[in-house]
């Protein structure tokens, strides 16, 4: 009951407008905690890295892997190195997905201990940005959305991002009722997003549905139940 009330309260607030994010630099792995298991090593050698190699085969030499290090070429003849860090409860890994042409960034899947995200690596600057869902572009390619909807860790946010010269501008964040439902979103128009949710404990039932529309003032507003 408390979770339902909290979700309802969050959904009553308008979309939160955000500012430009600066991104981060790639960091080196600092081993801390239990070392990787033999199963982890075997899974990389027989499954994850061979599948990844197929995904970046068309992007060579801009993308390459050497052991636990993923190298991505950026502007100016430089490169960014992403190093896996499979130690203890702070473990994380980088797995190449694709190069995103509209945004000029690499999309890198980033599974971690009890978490999951995507790392977007800017081709121009090499800066890293973390999002919690795969980028889905509007039809005019001016902005993209991501959906973060999970129980562990607790996340329930639709985010709208716009590329800029130095990285990403987060235009808005809209609360989603993910404590009780599983939600997805789609672009209907470049200023109109539809959200549909399904109850986690009764997936056959219809859940929350609403739209988010960008007004003439540039603000995103929620309409619907």
User: So what's the pLDDT on residue 18?
Assistant: 58
Domain count, the chain: 2
User: So what's the pLDDT on residue 10?
Assistant: 44
Domain identity same for 116 and 31: yes
Give the three-state DSSP class for 95. strand
Residue that is last in its domain, among 98, 126, 154 = 126
Rounded mean pLDDT, 115-139 = 97
Rounded mean pLDDT, 199-204 = 92
**Average pLDDT score, the chain:** 91
pLDDT by residue (tens digit) across 39-78? Answer: 999 999 999 999 999 999 999 999 999 999 999 999 999 9
Domain identity same for 138 and 122: no
Parent domain of 207: 1-21+134-225
Whether the predicted model's global pTM rises above the 0.85 cut: yes
User: So what's the pLDDT on residue 5?
Assistant: 41
The encoded tokens of residue 74 equal 């950026």
Q: Read out DSSP for 19-37?
A: -EE--B--------SSPPP
Rounded mean pLDDT, 204-225 = 93
User: So what's the pLDDT on residue 8?
Assistant: 43
Rounded mean pLDDT, 157-177 = 93
User: So what's the pLDDT on residue 75?
Assistant: 96
Domain identity same for 175 and 105: no
pLDDT higher than threshold 90 for residue 110:
yes
User: So what's the pLDDT on residue 15?
Assistant: 60
Q: Say which DSSP state 191 is in.
A: T
Extract the runs of DSSP E, i.e. beta strands, from the chain: 20-21, 63-66, 69-74, 78-83, 95-100, 105-112, 115-122, 128-131, 136-137, 144-150, 155-164, 167-175, 181-189, 192-199, 209-214, 220-223
Rounded mean pLDDT, 140-160 = 97
pLDDT higher than threshold 90 for residue 225:
no
Residue that is last in its domain, among 126, 153, 187 = 126
């Amino acid at each position: 009951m408390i979770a339902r009330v909290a979700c309802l309260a969050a959904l009553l607030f308008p979309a939160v407008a955000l500012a430009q994010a600066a991104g981060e630099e790639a960091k080196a792995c600092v081993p801390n905690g239990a070392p990787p298991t033999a199963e982890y090593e075997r899974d990389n050698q027989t499954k994850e890295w061979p599948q990844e190699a197929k995904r970046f085969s068309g992007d060579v030499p801009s993308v390459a892997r050497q052991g636990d290090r993923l190298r991505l070429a950026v502007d100016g003849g430089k490169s960014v190195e992403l190093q896996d860090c499979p130690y203890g409860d702070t473990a994380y890994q980088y797995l190449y997905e694709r190069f995103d042409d509209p945004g000029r960034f690499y999309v890198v899947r980033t599974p971690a201990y009890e978490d999951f995200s995507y790392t977007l690596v800017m081709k121009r600057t090499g800066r890293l940005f973390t999002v919690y869902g795969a980028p889905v572009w509007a039809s005019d390619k001016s902005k993209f959305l991501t959906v973060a909807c999970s129980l562990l860790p607790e996340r329930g946010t639709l985010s709208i991002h716009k590329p800029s010269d130095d990285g990403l501008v987060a235009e808005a964040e809209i609360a989603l009722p993910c404590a009780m439902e599983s939600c997805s979103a789609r672009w209907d128009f470049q200023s109109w997003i539809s959200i549909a949710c399904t109850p986690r404990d009764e997936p056959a039932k219809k859940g929350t549905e609403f739209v988010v529309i960008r007004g003439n003032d540039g603000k995103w507003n929620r309409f619907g139940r």
